[in-house]
Amino acid sequence: MPANLENSAVATGLEKVRFHSNPKERQAKECSNYCTIGLISHASKVMLKILQARLQQYVNHELPDVQAGFRKGRGTRDQIANIHWIMEKAREFQKNIYFCFIDCAKIFDCVDHNKLWKILKEMGIPDHLTCLLRNLYAGQEATVRTGHGTTNWFQIGKGVRQGCILSLCLFNFYAEYIMRNSGLEEAETGIKIARRNVNNLRYADDTTLMVESEEELKSLLMKLKEESEKVGLKLSIQKMKIMASGPITS
C-alpha cells in the first residue's frame, strides 16, 4: 500500500514530483513565459484518490454555496449565469452594482504549509488525515526536466503540490479561511437576494466581489487584502478589474 491512512505513514518515493517546463511562446526567455507541468507516481494517485474521498464530507460541510470551484454539480457556467442574473435584476430595480474581479499573484505557489495545517484543524479535518498530508508535504522533492537535461532533486517548502488532485481542495479550505476572517459572510454589504446577503462569488482562486456602492467595495477589498497578506497571499493590483453595472437610461 502507498500509505497507511490510520497511522499517517507515507511510503518512500511518493513525495517526489517531476516537473516538465514548456515554453508558452517561441524564444521564451523569462521564467514567467514557461508553463510547468507536475508529474507524480501512479501509486501516489491511488492514495490521493482515497484521501480525496475522505475529505469530501468536510468540503461539503465547510465550503459555502458561493464557492463553486471543483465541486460536483457546479462550475464556471453557474457563476457566470449568477452574475448575469444579478445584473439583469439590478437594472430591473434601478440599482447600481459594482463588481471587482480579484486576482492574486502566484497564488497556488504561496500557500504556507504551517498555516495550512492549522486551517485544516480549524475546519475540523481529523488529525490523522492532516498528519498524512503533512508527512506527504514534509518529504516533498522535485526535479525539473528541460531541453538541456534534468536538474538535481530539491525540496519544496511552500505552495500546494502541482499535479496533485488534492491541491485544489486544500486551496479551497485556505481561501475559505481568508474569507471568513475578512468578515464577508457577516458583512451587511452586498446584494440582497431572497432575504440573503451575497457579496461574493467564487471558483477556486477566482473571486468576484459585488456591492451597491464604491465605498462598500473599497471596504471589502481592504479587509480581503489584509487577511490575504496574513497568510502569505498578495492581491495582484495589475490584474484586478472593476466593472460597474447600472440602470439603462433612455
Domains of the chain by residue range: 3-245
Mean pLDDT of 150-179: 91
DSSP state of 178: H
pTM of the predicted protein model: 0.84
Question: How far is residue 119's CA from residue 170's CA, in Å, rounded to a whole number?
Answer: 10
Residue 194 has pLDDT above 80, yes or no: no
Question: How far is residue 228's CA from residue 178's CA, in Å, rounded to a whole number?
Answer: 6
Q: CA 227 → CA 3, 77, 94, 124, distances in Å?
A: 35, 28, 33, 21
Asked if 212 and 191 count as a contact pair (C-beta separation under 8 A), the reply is yes
Mean pLDDT of 29-50: 82
pLDDT at position 1, please? 46
Rounded-to-10 torsion of CA 238, 226, 112, 9: -130
Where residue 248 falls among pLDDT bands split at 50, 70, 90?
Answer: low
Where residue 127 falls among pLDDT bands split at 50, 70, 90?
Answer: very high
Backbone torsions φ then ψ of 239, nearest 5 degrees: -100, -10
Instruction: Lowest mean pLDDT of 54-58, 90-94, 99-103, 245-249, name the range.
Output: 245-249
Q: From the centroid of its chain, how far is CA 174?
A: 7
Q: Which three cell numbers stand for residue 121?
A: 484543524
User: Considering Cα of 114, then 11, then 48, then 159, what sign does the dihedral take?
Assistant: positive
Mean pLDDT of 206-231: 92
Quickly list H helices, the chain.
Answer: 42-62, 76-92, 113-122, 127-138, 167-182, 214-230
pLDDT at position 61, please? 92
Where residue 4 falls among pLDDT bands split at 50, 70, 90?
Answer: low
